[in-house]
């Protein structure tokens, strides 16, 4: 255990935990967009930056990546942190001026409008979808393509993916609702910012509702070795 101070509060925390985890454990709010406990911390959105004092010097660190240490002093809302966070939100707002989640977070952090020229994106490039697809689902159907300002997320060459199982984890994990996911009749539609795919759904033997993409069943069988009849019924109709 180490002792640290966050915003003047003296806290005890397990070694190896990050500042963000310790803050969350203690109900201290630090904004973040690219962090999700399901995947490894990535440190890309920079919104979770906090000010720490180390060897007498103050610096900003990404709290999702920085592990707590004995005697650490953390400020989550210093002037420097707030000014930078606002600027980051202005940049995000310029990128995604019409995204509701981005607008809401901006307002929450005290930013009403952006000083920059505006584009019209929905995706904030936090890569959560990509990381979930790789680290949790294990199929890497989507990735980030191109470099720098041209960066986008998509399937290879924006073509229908051979490996995507249509599970929708990407849509579920997206913090700004940039990936649309809808089941209509026997078809699931996943709409990423730059391309889309359709998946045939399987019907539940008991209630008759369409509940899971056939590809997802194939993949789960492959992974687990379970027999096909395991997936005959939807979770609601199972014994």
- Positions touching other proteins (CB under 8 A) are 43-47, 49, 60-62, 65-67, 80, 83-84, 87-88, 91-92, 94-95, 115-117, 124-125, 127, 144, 146-151
In the block, residue with structure tokens 């939807």: 234
Rounded Cα gap, residues 205 and 188, in angstroms: 18
- Minimum distance between the CB of residue 148 and other proteins, rounded to whole angstroms? 4
Q: Which is nearer to other proteins, 80 or 191 (CB)?
A: 80
Rounded Cα gap, residues 31 and 77, in angstroms: 11
- Minimum distance between the CB of residue 51 and other proteins, rounded to whole angstroms? 10
CB neighbour list of residue 51: distance below 8 Å, 6 or more residues apart: 58, 59, 60, 74, 75, 76, 78, 80, 81
- Minimum distance between the CB of residue 117 and other proteins, rounded to whole angstroms? 5
Q: Which is nearer to other proteins, 46 or 196 (CB)?
A: 46
- Minimum distance between the CB of residue 151 and other proteins, rounded to whole angstroms? 4
Q: What is the 3-state secondary structure (H, E, C) of 84-135?
A: HHHHHHHHHHHHCCCCHHHHHHHHHCCCCCCCCCCCCCCCCCCCHHHHHHHH
DSSP characters over 187-210: EEEEE-SS-EEEEEEEEPTTT--E
Q: Which is nearer to other proteins, 89 or 234 (CB)?
A: 89
- For residue 171, the 8-state DSSP code is H
Residues 208, 213, 218, 219, CA torsion sign: negative
- Minimum distance between the CB of residue 189 and other proteins, rounded to whole angstroms? 28
- Minimum distance between the CB of residue 150 and other proteins, rounded to whole angstroms? 7
Q: Which is nearer to other proteins, 35 or 219 (CB)?
A: 35
Q: Which is nearer to other proteins, 4 or 124 (CB)?
A: 124
Q: Which is nearer to other proteins, 43 or 156 (CB)?
A: 43
């Amino acid at each position: 255990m180490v002792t640290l101070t966050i915003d003047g509060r003296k806290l005890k925390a397990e070694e190896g935990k990050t500042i963000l985890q310790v803050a969350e454990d203690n109900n201290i709010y630090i904004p973040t967009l690219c962090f999700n406990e399901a995947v490894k911390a990535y440190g890309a959105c920079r919104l979770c930056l906090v000010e720490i004092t180390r060897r007498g010097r103050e610096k900003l660190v990404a709290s999702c990546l920085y592990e707590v240490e004995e005697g650490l002093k953390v400020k989550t809302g210093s002037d420097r942190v707030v000014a930078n966070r606002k600027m980051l939100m202005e940049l995000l707002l310029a990128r995604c001026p019409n995204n509701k989640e981005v607008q809401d977070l901006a307002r929450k952090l005290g930013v009403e409008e952006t000083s920059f020229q505006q584009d019209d994106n929905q995706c904030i490039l936090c890569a959560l979808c990509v990381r979930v697809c790789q680290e949790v689902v294990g199929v890497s159907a989507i990735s980030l393509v191109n470099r720098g300002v041209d960066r986008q997320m998509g399937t290879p060459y924006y073509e229908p993916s051979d490996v995507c199982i249509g599970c929708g984890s990407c849509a579920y994990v997206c913090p700004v609702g940039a990936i649309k996911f809808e089941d209509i009749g026997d078809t699931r539609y996943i709409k990423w910012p730059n391309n889309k795919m359709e998946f045939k759904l399987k019907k539940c033997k008991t209630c008759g509702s369409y509940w899971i993409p056939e590809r997802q069943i194939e993949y789960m069988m492959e992974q687990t070795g379970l027999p096909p009849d395991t997936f005959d019924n939807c979770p609601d109709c199972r014994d």
